[in-house]
Amino acid sequence: MEYRERMENGRYAGGAGSGFKSGKLPVCTTALVCLNVGIFIAGLIAPGLGRWMEAKGCFSVVYLLYEKSGFYRLITAAFFHADIEHLLNNMLLLYCCGDIVERCLGKMRFLLLYFGSAICGNLLSAAFELSTGSFYDSIGASGAVFGLTGALLFLVIMRRGAAAQISLGRAVFAVFLSLYAGFGSAYVNNAAHIGGLLSGFILGFLLSVIPPIFQKHQKEGNRG
């Protein structure tokens, strides 16, 4: 009960020392943005290298079925983008959402959330490919970014709209607008978006609630 009250009052999220803190650079978020931008620029400077990296890093369920080591693509696909608009859209959302989520959860949990959402988004995309019989290569950080959006929605709900002064209505509207933009555009992997969003919400809950419960039990065990 005490932990839930702390979460709802906005003073606690994900364990000791991981509450919302403003004024510090979000290190992991900034590093991920720089890495994505750096890979994109490298592909522009050396087109041959860019095509090779994309061919080796893109994702499709076909690679999981026919490549023994194809599982690495579940993560690498999140670091390649089709064009500058694709990159800018994802990086803007990554920084805006990642800044808040990283400050709330802390660096390690933020990274687990980010890469976990990327993997889950691509897995749902793979399931969609199998169900429809349509196979295609997919790239982009959208699954991971939607995971951050889902986690942010969870944090806003638990903090009663107090997470970074974002109201629940604004958070829900941002999620709806992002999904709508995807469904209204061609060549967009909406399955990865939905998979990332749902997994981000669930992982946001797990990473925020389970560790403090474990720590509480550990302390009780030490007392005995």
What tokens were used for 68? 């023994």
CA distance 111 to 32: 10
Contact 121, 142 (CB under 8 A): yes
Say whether 193 is catalytic: yes
DSSP 3-state assignment of 138?
Answer: strand
Catalytic site residue from 125, 138, 193, 199 = 193
One-character DSSP codes across the chain: -HHHHHHHHTS-SSSTT-S---SS--HHHHHHHHHHHHHHHHHHHSHHHHHHHHHHH-B-HHHHHH-TTGGGHHHHGGG--SSHHHHHHHHHHHHHHHHHHHHHH-HHHHHHHHHHHHHHHHHHHHHHHHHHT----B--SHHHHHHHHHHHHHHHHHTTT-GGG--HHHHHHHHHHHHHHHHTSTT--HHHHHHHHHHHHHHHHHHHHHHHHHHHHHHHHHH-
Q: Catalytic pick from 142, 178, 199, 208? A: 142
Helix (H) or strand (E) holding 164: none
Q: Which residues are catalytic?
A: 142, 193
